[in-house]
Structure 1
Amino acid sequence: TKAMIFVSPSNPTGAVYPRAEVEAIGRWAAEHGIWVISDEIYEHLVYGDASFHSMPALVPELAERCVVVNGVAKTYAMTGWRVGWMIAPPDVTVAATNLQSHSTSNVANVSQVAALAGVSGDLSAVAMMRAAFDRRRRRMHELLNEIPGVSCVEPQGAFYCFPSFAGVVGREIRGRRAGTTLELAGLVLDEVGVAIVPGEAFGAAGYGRLSYALGDDDLVEGVTRMGKLLAEAE
């Protein structure tokens, strides 16, 4: 093993590693000479008692073998602007710059100015957005666990729920039998117009990802539609 990718808060599960685990993983990587690519894109989107911890901040000796990636897409709701950054040892940064310059040339000037405005301001707007996500997170988690055959651990970060559909997969619904969550996702989309990302996309068959980055009414409508459909499983 040469490198590991560490993501906390996590997409798709919404899991957030506690400080002790982040530090323990970082020290293990440092002791074994393992590079760490730390994806910190959801650092400001944590809820309840959960808190974000950056691995190289907790384990400074890891800094020379750590690459931190982040951006404005999630914290500042700027997904379409395509602006991010990397913090890494100088030789890694030079190599990445050479590769990127031949792939996409450079980030558009207007996107750079917009991103600068975002990161230069305070986080008051982010706090308002996080409060809305927190409300939707709790509501989606509640609704999902009311569906027969579906169970969901409460997410602590990001803006996704990742429920298990183990009690539904393989059962007949409206004359169709979905043997996988990939097939179940197609069935749900066809029958009630609700899109979920099947767990197979993340190497986790039997699960599905739903986002609560949408309006409260749309969230309730979508999960309710899906719940009524899955309740028909025989």
Structure 2
Amino acid sequence: MQAEGIDVINFGAGEPDFDTPQHIKDAAARSLQSGFTKYTPTSGTPDLKKAICEKLARENGLEYKPNEVIVSLGAKHSIYNAVLATVDAGEEVIIPAPYWVSYPEIVGLADGKSVYIETDESTGFTVPIDRLRAAVTPKTRMLILNSPSNPTGGIYDRKQIEQIAELAVEKGFYVLSDEIYEKIIYDGNEHVSIASLGDDIKKLTITINGFSKAFSMTGWRLGYAAAEKDIVGAMEAIQSHSASNLVSFTQPAAVAALNGPQEVVDNMVAEFDKRRKYIVGRLNSIDGITCAMPGGAFYVFPNVGKLYGKNFDGKKITTSDEFADFLLAEAKVAVVAGSGFGADNYVRLSYATSMANIEKGLDRIAEAVGKLA
């Protein structure tokens, strides 16, 4: 529609609407102009791996050596490598739902079996430890932990993380901890890296992070993983035969991101916080929609299930896909159906767009929902 000149308000974006900070772009430009355009080591340059180790120690309380770190073409690539390196055919991977859409697809590529635990607003979209324990079987190989979460913005607190760590050590399963949204948190919430809670859980943890969200570098495709040396070695072997290495001249830019000024991140999060509070308030003012306040990331995940069964122009809305189609056709507003996240009573809206767009889009949603009968 947008290509046809139609004014569509897009709440679907999974990337910050801010530009990559200038000092990061400058580092890439210098690298490119200096001729740093050849192959690099498969797992990343020594300088970048050193910077990642220093970051993990400084910010997360994690001590890793460079041979325990691998840099990949985005955090998704890191997750793909990690799952393929650790999960065998038929083994189970526990995935709390709602979940990021790629988790089950990646598990399927490894011939693993996804085991879902549904969550909702009553627990802040986090899994109570008793339900997690009940889902563990002798075939459980891994838990995928995403805090803060895409799509819900839910955050596990320190006590919950400690309980998960104790269970993982007791039962001996891996924890893939996707921490890509760690810097985008609100209301004094604390980000806890599960691997920091002791040597036993560190041995079972694959920590995933990257540059896309915190530094607004989605197109740069830079992510990394930290884990035991044998796991990283297996991931490196997979990466070597699938991608060779990541782009050479982006790696000095990643070093600049980690070691440079962090105020740009703080400023972005402060702006997101204003939008977060506004969009939640507006959504909750619309009859039939309820929206929990997310603790992190830049998404809201409103419950629209009370609108199911209502009609517009003779068409009944019964699913999140139908509701999303209705908003696009009637309101010219794009949202993401919850079905892809394993939660069909919900839709996802990203507030990584301007406040003007948010205001206009919510006006349109309110007007459109008011037409349902």
Q: Please state which band the TM-score falls in when normalised by the shorter chain.
A: over 0.9
Structure of greater Rg: 2
Equivalent of 1:103 in 242, 248, 258 = 242
Contact kept, 8 Å, 1:174 with 1:232, in 2: the verdict is no
- Aligned residue type for 1:3: M
Q: Which runs of 5+ in 2 are unaligned?
A: 1-139
Distance, in Å, in 1 between the alignment partners of 2:157 and 2:177 is 15
Listed as ranges, the matches of 1:1-234 within 5 Å are 1-234=140-373
TM-score by length of 1: 0.97
- 2:101 counterpart residue number: none
TM-score by length of 2: 0.61
- Aligned residue type for 2:312: I
- How far did residue 231 of structure 1 move? 1.5
Distance, in Å, in 1 between the alignment partners of 2:264 and 2:370 is 39
Give aligned-pair identity as a percent: 38
Distance, in Å, in 2 between the alignment partners of 1:10 and 1:23 is 18
Give the SS at the match of 1:137.
helix
- Aligned residue type for 2:208: V
Matched positions, count: 234
- 2:134 counterpart residue number: none
Instruction: Provide Cα deviations, 1:66-89, integer angstroms capped at 9, x if missing partner.
Output: 100100000001111000100011
Q: Which has the higher contact order (CA 8 A, sep 6+)?
A: 2
Distance, in Å, in 2 between the alignment partners of 1:107 and 1:160 is 29
Q: Which runs of 4+ in 1 moved over 4 A?
A: none
- How far did residue 165 of structure 1 move? 0.3
- How far did residue 104 of structure 1 move? 2.1
Give the SS at the match of 1:182.
helix
- How far did residue 223 of structure 1 move? 1.8
- Aligned residue type for 2:159: A
Instruction: Provide Cα deviations, 1:207-230, integer angstroms capped at 9, x if missing partner.
Output: 011001111111111122112101
Give the stretch that moved more between structures: 105-114 or 73-82: 105-114
- Aligned residue type for 2:344: A
Q: Which runs of 5+ in 1 are unaligned?
A: none
> RMSD of the TM alignment (CA)?
1.1
- How far did residue 60 of structure 1 move? 3.2
Instruction: Provide Cα deviations, 1:159-196, integer angstroms capped at 9, x if missing partner.
Output: 00000001112211243222101111111112222111
